[in-house]
Amino acid sequence: MEHSGFILLDKAVGKTSFQALFPLKKIFGTKRVGHAGTLDLRASGLIIAGIGRATRLLPFLEAEDKSYSFRLHFGYETDTLEWDGELTQQSETVKIERKDAENILPAFTGRIKQVPPDYSAVKVSGTRASDLMLRGKEFELPARSVEIYRLTLTEKLPAVTEGFSGKFFAEFDFECDCSKGTYIRSLGRDIGRALGSFASVSQIRRTRIGQVSVKDAHPVENITQANLIPIQALVPFPVLTLSAAELAVIRNGNWIPWKQTVIFQESSIKNPENLVFVAGEDGQVTYLCRYEPGRILPRIFVGNGV
């Protein structure tokens, strides 16, 4: 029987998001594993992994706002916009103090336009920009709109950054709450240029997706089947309990009459279609359905099973 649910993974630096999921396939005995939101190879932090049919619910989580911590090194820029990429820009000595960084932050708060990094998963005519860069192809990525809800300087993070490609004249640590699609590397690049210099980023760490914190996540080597989280715990749609006969009707793809009022709780996850989960009398959630006044219509099977 295939498992279905979510795993909160604390991804280590040095693995792609795709590579970080490999051990989960073995732990849960399935190839059906996905994630909500890619993390860069050099970034660490929270990945919400979907196991089995829970992968069908990942778009709801991927659309959630996210939080990051990161470090900016002012004085140079690289091709990857990371601290150890190939040096592309080096400024003369520029005095950048903490108050200068603080004063520029309002310009990067709210809805802003941002050009993604050339080394990114953004697709150009169906091909990843990073792949085009590796092939030496020329292209231009258009700016797109993202939203920065909170951007603040923090105290110095304990982690050490080594292996700089250029010379930096100041470095500060930041925290950021932002919308889906925000690139921290691009944000760092633009802050550096706004201060009359350049900047490269290191120590990117995703600390939150929606209401889920990295504090509740585990390194992949510590994960077992006991860490599987029920789908309704992270996608908080109402759960309706059906009789065996009603569940059989849903299973056959037909709607059932429903006279009870369904109460939808406020949540950061948008639910314009009034989606609900349905469970059998054993409490096991099996289907995602749509509620209409007077009836329940089946959408997709999300339970455990073959």
Give the integer Cα–Cα distance in Å for 289 and 169. 56
Closest residue by Cα to residue 40 from 285, 216, 205: 205
Closest residue by Cα to residue 262 from 250, 282, 249, 278: 278
List the catalytic residue out of 10, 40, 177, 190: 40
Give the integer Cα–Cα distance in Å for 91 and 44. 29
CA angle, 193 then 113 then 115, to 5°: 65
Active site residue 10: no
CB 223 within 8 A of CB 282: no
Give the integer Cα–Cα distance in Å for 231 and 284. 10
Q: Which residues does the annotation mark as catalytic? A: 40
